[in-house]
Structure 1
Amino acid sequence: MNANIKIFDTTLRDGTQGEGVSLSVEDKIKIALKLDALGVHYIEGGNPGSNSKDIEFFERAKHIKLNNAKFVAFGSTRRKDTDVETDAGLKRIIDCGMPVATLVGKAWDFHVHTALQTSLEENLAMIYDSFKFLKSKGLETIYDAEHFFDGYKNNPEYALACLKKAEDAGADWIVLCDTNGGTLPGEIYDIVSHVCSIMTTPIGIHTHNDCELAVANSLTAIQAGARQVQGTMNGYGERCGNANLCSIIPNLQLKLNYPCLTEPQLQSLTSVARFVSEIANVHMPVNQPYVGVAAFAHKGGIHVSAIMKDSRTYEHIKPELVGNKQRVLVSELAGQSNLMFKAQELNINLNMEQAQTKEIIDRIKAMEHQGYQFEGADASLELLLRQASGEIEEMFTLESFKISVEKIASQAVVSEAIIKIKVHGETVYTVAEGNGPVNALDNALRKALIAYYPSIQNMHLSDYKVRVIDDKVATAGKVRVLIESSDFNNTWSTVGVSENIFEASWLALIDSIRYALIGQTQIKHESEKQKERFGLVNH
C-alpha cells in the first residue's frame, strides 16, 4: 500500500477565478460542507480581507465544525521592504482564525524582477520572514512556490533557494506550482524527484491545465514523491482551469493504489461533483471522466451486447466505485441488445422474439433520421417503449393550439397561447399568458389539465434548448427542442423535432407532462395495491 495522499481543494478560491464562476457566501458554505463530507483534507476558502464576500465567509467558517477537513486562508508573503509585524495581509490571515495558512511566494527570478520589481535577496527574505512569523502564531503553513517549474528551468539554484528559505522558516508543506500550465509530465517527474531528494519538508503539487496536462502532471508528481495534491472540483480555474480533483482522486486511489478517501467517500464523488456544478451554475461536460453522465454510457449495439455479458468488456472500472452508473443509449446505432437492456432497466416487458421489437428499433431509427436524439431524452424514449408494450393509454389529445406574440411600444412583449384539448372525452379550452411563447403554451396546457391531474402543479420546466438540425437551409431547417423538467424528487428530459419551433416545443412539452403523469399514475397504482394488500380498500 502506498502512502496516504492529502487532498487540498481550492475550488472556493482558485476555482472562482474561472470565467463564469461566481459563488455567494452561502454557495461557498454549502460547497465547503460537501467537500468536508467527501473527505478532502484541506479547503481553501479565499483571501481574508480581500473582499467583503471572503470576510463574511471566514467569519462564518469560525463557527462551522468540520469532520474531515481544515479550513485554509490564502495570502501572499509580506510586501517588499516592509516588516512582517505591520503587513496587513499577514495580519488578516492571523485574525481570521483559520488553523492553516497558504502563502504564495515567487520562485522564478524573472517574476521577482518583473512582477515584484525587487531584488532576489529581498524575495528570499520575504519568504523566510513570512513563514517564521506565521509559525510563531501557531498556524500550520503551506508555501505555494509560484511559477516554480518555470523558475527551476530558468535558474534552478534560485528556485531551490526559495524552497530552502521556506523550509528553514518552518513551513509544514512546500507546494510546487506549475502556474502557467506549460510543463510536461517528463519534466515534472524529473524536477519533483530531485526536489524530494534534497528537501525534508513534505512536497505538494499544484498544476494548471493550459496544455491539458494538469491531471497527468499531478499524478506524475505523486509518483515522483509529492504527498499533497491541490486542485478544484470539475477543474474550475483561471484560463483553462486547475487540475481536476474529480479525475485525480479516483486515478490515485483506484489506478495507482494511493489512499485518499474511504470507499464510501469515493462513492459520493459523482454526486459532489454534480452538486458543485449546480451551485456554481456551470454546465458539466457530459463526457467528463469518472463523474460525467456519459462516462459509462454505451451506444453501439456490439458494445452493449458485450457489457450485458460482462461490463469489464467496455468499462475500465465499476461506475459504482465513484457513485456513477452505467447507461445504455438508444439511437440509430442501436440493436436489440440496447433495447433489451433499456427495457430491463425500466421493468418493461419486451419479448425479443417478437416482431414488435424490430418495429420499435425501426421506428427509433426513422425518428433519429428525422432529427430526434434520445441520448439526452430518456423520458421520451421510455414513453416510446411503454407505448409499444401497450402499458400506457393516451391521457389527452390535441385538437388545436394558437400562439400570439404582441409588442406594444416601450412595453414588455406579451405572449399568449390558446389550447383546445380532449381529456377523458371532454373538450377543454384554455387561454394563458407567459413570458415567452413556450412558457405561454406550457401555462395553457397545465391550466387545461390541472382539474384532471392535480399533481401537475408539482412539476416545472427547468431548462429549454433549441438546436437547428440543418443550418444549410437557414430558417427553413428543422429544429430539435430539448426540454428538462423537474418535480420535488426527479428531473427528466424530453425531445421534439419539427420544421416549426412551436410544434417541436409542443412535442417535447407534452412528452414531459405525459411522463410526469404516468409516474404519478404508477405511484397511485402501487399505493392502491398496498392498500388492497392490507385490506384498506372498500369494495
Structure 2
Amino acid sequence: MQTDAFHVFDTTLRDGAQREGISYSVADKLAVARLLDQVGVGFIEGGWPGAMPKDSEFFARAADGELILKNAILSAFGATRRAGVAVEDDAQVQALLDSRAQVITLVAKSDVAHVELALRTTPEENLAMVHDTVAFLRAHDRRVFIDCEHFFDGYQRDSGYGVAVLEAAAAAGASVGVLCDTNGGMLPVGVRDIVVDVAARTSLRLGIHTQNDTGCAVANTFAAVDAGATHVQGTANGYGERAGNADLFAVIGGLVTKMGLDVLPDGALAEMSRVSHAIAEIANLAPDTHQAYVGTSSFAHKAGLHASAIKVKPELYNHLDPAVVGNSQRILVTEMAGRASIELKSRELGVDVASRPEVVAEVVHQIKEREASGWSYEAADASFELLLRDALGGEDAVAELFTVESYRVIIDRREDGTLVSEATVKVHANGTRVISTEEGNGPVNALDRALRSALQTVYPQLRNFELSDYKVRILAGRAGTDAVTRVLVETSQTPNATAANPVSWTTVGVHGNVIEASWLALHDAVRYGLLHETR
C-alpha cells in the first residue's frame, strides 16, 4: 500500500466521469477501480453515494466483496451538511456513512462569492457546516479529506477566507485540505505563490486538484508539489468536464521520474501504459496517441537526424527509457527517413538490413519517391515490411504465394434503391487458376471477400482473417473527384485463429482510383498475413 508520506488520489470514477461522452456502468466502475489499483494509486474516489444511484450501488457491491484492492483505499465523495440543517439530520451525509467507505472526501465552498451566491448562506454558517460535518464523520471513525472548491479564485478575492475554511476543517479532525482550481484558470506561477502563502498560514496538510482549462493542469500540479503540497488528485488520461483534469499518468510519471518521489509500489510504474489504454477502452474512447508517457507516439521518432542519434544511444532523443512506464520506442518511416531510420525500423520488424547498405539506399530512395506521390508508411508497418523483403530478395523475399490475373467490380443500383456490390477476382495459386465472385456491402468489402474466397482452397488459414478497419483520405494536389486517394486497411485475425503471429496489421495503397488504392492495400494485407502464417 502507498505510504502516507505522499498521496496519489484518483478521481476518474467521479470527476473524470463528468467528461462529455463517458457513462460508466457499475460493472465499468468496478473494472476501472481494479485497473487503478494495479497502477498503485493510494486512493480511489468511487463517486457520490446518495446523489447518484449507480454510485450507491458501486459502493454497496465494493463493500460486499466485489472489489478487492491491494494498494488503494476507496473514498466516497459528498458535500457538507446543508445550511440550517443539523448534520445528523442530513440524508446526504448519512449516505456517506452508509457507503461504508473508510475515507470521505467532502466538497466545501472556500470562495465567499460562492458561499453567498450559490449556497445562499453566510460565510460564518459555511464555516460551521464544514466543522460540523467533518466532526460528525470523524466521530464515526471516518478519515476526512476536504476539497476546497474554487479555492484559487476565492483567494484572489479574499485571501483569508479559504484559509479559515481549512482551519475549520483541521480543528474538526480533517486529514488533508485540497486546494481546487475548479474553473481551471490558473497558471503555474500563480499556483506556486498561493500554495506557499497558504502553507505558511494553516496547520492542515495541503493537496492540489487542478482542471485543464488553460492547458496547465499537470504543470499546476507540479507547481503545487514544489510549493509543499503532498497530496495530488487527477484522473486517468485527464478525463473530466470541459477540458478535463490533470492527467494522473503524466503526474505520476513526473513525480517518480523527474522529481524523484517514491509514490508507487515497486513495479507499478511499468503498468501505466497498459492501464491507460485499458481504461480508454472501458470508457469507449480512442486512446490519445500523443499522450505523455503512455501514448503510442510518445516515444515515436520520425526525423532521420533523430534516428541516427538513437541508433548510437536511444537516450539521446528519449527523455527516459520507455520500458520504465510500460511503453516502447517506435521508428516511423516517412519521407524524412534516412539510412538510420530504415535500419532501426527494419530491426524492429525483425528484418535486419544493416549488413546490406545497397538495400538500405534503395529503400530510402523508394520511400522518398513514393511519399512524394502520396504514399505513407508511417501507419502501415505491414506494407513497409513487404517493401523491405522485396528489396532484400533471396530467402528474405516474400514468396510468390499467388498472382492476380485480374479483378472486376460492379455496383448495381436497383429500381427499389438498393445497392449491390459484386466483385470477381481471377488468381493463380499453387498451379491452379481460380475464379471467385462475391457480393459485399460495398465494392471494397466485395473485393476483400472475393480475393480471400479465391485463395482459401489453397490457403485455408485465410478464413481467420477479416478486414477490421478501412480509412480513405483525399490527398491535396487535385480537386474534387479527380484527387489521388490514400487507403489504409487494418486486417485482424478472428478469435479462432491459432497461429502465433500479429493480431492485426495495417497496409496502405495509393492511386487516383479509390478502388485500385483499396485493392493495393488489400493485396498487401493478404500477402503479409500469409507471409506470417507460412514462415
Q: How does 1:513-528 map onto structure 2 within 5 Å? A: 513-522=526-535
Q: Which amino acid aligns with 1:16?
A: A
Q: Is the 8 A contact 2:238 2:248 kept in 1?
A: yes
Q: How many residues align?
A: 520
Give the corresponding residue for 1:528. Answer: none
Residues 62-115 of structure 1, C-alpha deviation per residue, up to 9 Å, x if partnerless? Answer: 211100011221122222222222322222221122222211111111111222
Give the corresponding residue for 2:123. Answer: 120
Q: Is the 8 A contact 1:3 1:259 kept in 2?
A: no
Q: How does 1:101-112 map onto structure 2 within 5 Å? A: 101-112=104-115
Q: Which amino acid aligns with 1:469?
A: L
Q: Which amino acid aligns with 2:400?
A: E
Q: Which amino acid aligns with 2:7?
A: K
Shift of 1:415: 4.2
Q: How does 1:84-103 map onto structure 2 within 5 Å? A: 84-103=87-106
Q: Structure 1 residues 133, 506: CA separation in 2 closer, same or farther (over 3 Å shift)?
A: farther
Residue 423 in structure 1 maps to residue 426 in structure 2: no
Q: Is the 8 A contact 1:348 1:389 kept in 2?
A: no
Give the corresponding residue for 1:491. Answer: 504
Q: Which amino acid aligns with 1:428?
A: V
Residue 506 in structure 1 maps to residue 519 in structure 2: yes
Q: Structure 1 residues 241, 407: CA separation in 2 closer, same or farther (over 3 Å shift)?
A: farther
Q: Structure 1 residues 305, 50: CA separation in 2 closer, same or farther (over 3 Å shift)?
A: same
Q: Which moved more, 1:213-222 or 1:287-296?
A: 287-296
Q: 1:448 aligns with which of 454, 458, 469?
A: 454
Q: 2:316 aligns with which of 307, 313, 330?
A: 313
Q: How does 1:60-459 map onto structure 2 within 5 Å? A: 60-62=61-63, 63=65, 64-350=67-353, 354-390=357-393, 391=396, 392-398=398-404, 399-404=406-411, 406=413, 409=416, 414-459=420-465
Give the whole-Å Cα distance in 2 for the aligned partners of 1:301 and 1:265: 34
Residues 377-403 of structure 1, C-alpha deviation per residue, up to 9 Å, x if partnerless? Answer: 112111211222222113233320314
Shift of 1:259: 1.2
SS at match of 1:81: coil
Q: Is the 8 A contact 1:405 1:437 kept in 2?
A: no
TM-score of the two chains, using structure 1 as the length reference: 0.91
Give the whole-Å Cα distance in 2 for the aligned partners of 1:439 and 1:206: 49
Q: Is the 8 A contact 1:372 1:496 kept in 2?
A: yes
Q: Structure 1 residues 348, 133: CA separation in 2 closer, same or farther (over 3 Å shift)?
A: same
SS at match of 1:150: helix
Q: Which moved more, 1:474-483 or 1:101-110?
A: 474-483
Residue 479 in structure 1 maps to residue 485 in structure 2: yes
Give the whole-Å Cα distance in 2 for the aligned partners of 1:412 and 1:128: 69
Give the whole-Å Cα distance in 2 for the aligned partners of 1:12 and 1:408: 52
Give the whole-Å Cα distance in 1 for the aligned partners of 2:525 and 2:338: 26
TM-score of the two chains, using structure 2 as the length reference: 0.91
Q: Structure 1 residues 462, 16: CA separation in 2 closer, same or farther (over 3 Å shift)?
A: farther
Give the whole-Å Cα distance in 2 for the aligned partners of 1:3 and 1:46: 22
SS at match of 1:165: helix
Give the whole-Å Cα distance in 2 for the aligned partners of 1:16 and 1:472: 44
SS at match of 2:472: strand
What 5-or-longer segments of structure 2 have no aligned partner? 496-501
Give the whole-Å Cα distance in 2 for the aligned partners of 1:485 and 1:126: 59
Shift of 1:214: 0.5
Shift of 1:451: 3.1
Q: Is the 8 A contact 1:349 1:389 kept in 2?
A: no
Q: Structure 1 residues 307, 151: CA separation in 2 closer, same or farther (over 3 Å shift)?
A: same
Q: Percent of pairs identical after alignment?
A: 46
Q: Is the 8 A contact 2:163 2:202 kept in 1?
A: no
Give the whole-Å Cα distance in 2 for the aligned partners of 1:408 and 1:172: 74
SS at match of 1:198: coil
Give the whole-Å Cα distance in 2 for the aligned partners of 1:129 and 1:441: 71
Give the corresponding residue for 2:498. Answer: none
Q: Is the 8 A contact 2:207 2:231 kept in 1?
A: yes
Q: Which moved more, 1:57-66 or 1:421-430?
A: 421-430
SS at match of 2:461: helix
Give the corresponding residue for 1:12. Answer: 13
SS at match of 2:457: coil
Give the whole-Å Cα distance in 2 for the aligned partners of 1:86 and 1:486: 58
Give the whole-Å Cα distance in 2 for the aligned partners of 1:236 and 1:143: 22
Q: Please, what is the CA RMSD of the aligned residues?
A: 2.2
Q: Which moved more, 1:249-258 or 1:122-131?
A: 122-131
Shift of 1:3: 8.9
Shift of 1:263: 4.5
Shift of 1:178: 0.4
Q: Is the 8 A contact 1:106 1:145 kept in 2?
A: yes
Q: Which moved more, 1:328-337 or 1:441-450?
A: 441-450
Q: Is the 8 A contact 2:478 2:484 kept in 1?
A: no
Q: Structure 1 residues 230, 340: CA separation in 2 closer, same or farther (over 3 Å shift)?
A: same
